[in-house]
Amino acid sequence: MDVQGDFTGVPMNDAARKYAEAFDVTRVAVLEHQCQPYNVAHIYRGPIQFRVFEDKNPATQEIVSYRVFSGTYMQWRTIWMDGRAHPPSHVPHTHMGFSTGEWHGDILTVKTTHIKKEFYRRSGAPSSDLTTLVEHYIRHGNVLSHVMIITDPVYLTEPYVLSQEFVIMERGNQNWLYNCEYVMEVPMDKNDLPFYLPGRNPFIEDYAKLYGVPFEGVFGGAPTTYPEYMPTLERLMNR
């Protein structure tokens, strides 16, 4: 679960900071957003269960695609393995985007375009519909390592790299979050869109205060992720 004000490690630019400052986390409780799934650049970062199927050419038995079903968010994803090109930019975007893959040894590399805008964290780090995603899947026995390289020219100053591991389940898929039903989760006017005016977000520094780190280090974007930032961080901690 993301803590309000947690933007650590995200190479945000000024446009993303403006968006984050205005973002009210209760926005996800608005009726039209409650059952909205995460997009493919975000979906693997929360609680998720998924299954992978092979689609083969019946005549040659060559793999045409991998089909990925996310039970947690009821999303189907196709990873095309037949060498087809990505569609032109005007083709509609979806939560799972358009994916093509190829094997490099025992590593499956997948490129995804045509992804709907959403956010990289529920704290308000935004993503745009120009986001592209490169993934690497590496299996080690019953453990699957998953590396994501996210590029977004609208909100990121450089690629955003994430990784996680998944373990093969020994029991059936539980689908524990869905099917989703719309309800009034918190007291609010259903016609209002929660947001904050510039400089009025009372929760923007919650993460920094909780862990006793300078807000500049949390909200500073790409430079804060490099070893060279340590002297600056020490100076901010001791001021």
Query: Which residue is associated with the tokens 């898929």?
Result: 173
Looking at residue 141, its pLDDT comes to: 94
* Highest mean pLDDT pick, 75-89, 161-175, 177-191: 75-89
Helix count and strand count (H, E) for the chain: 5, 10
220 Cβ neighbours under 8 A, 6+ residues apart: 229
- What pTM does this model have? 0.92
- What's the chain's average pLDDT? 92
Looking at residue 74, its pLDDT comes to: 87
Name the percent of the chain lying above pLDDT 70. Answer: 96
Least confident of 12-21, 132-141, 189-198: 189-198
**Would the pLDDT of 188 be above 80?**
no
CB atoms within 10 A of CB 145: 14
Quickly name the fold that domain 14-167 has.
Lipocalin (2.40.128)
pLDDT digits (tens, 9 = 90+) for 135-167: 999 999 999 999 999 999 999 999 999 999 999
Element (H, E) at 235: helix 230-237
Bond before 39 cis per omega within 30 degrees:
no
**Would the pLDDT of 178 be above 70?**
no
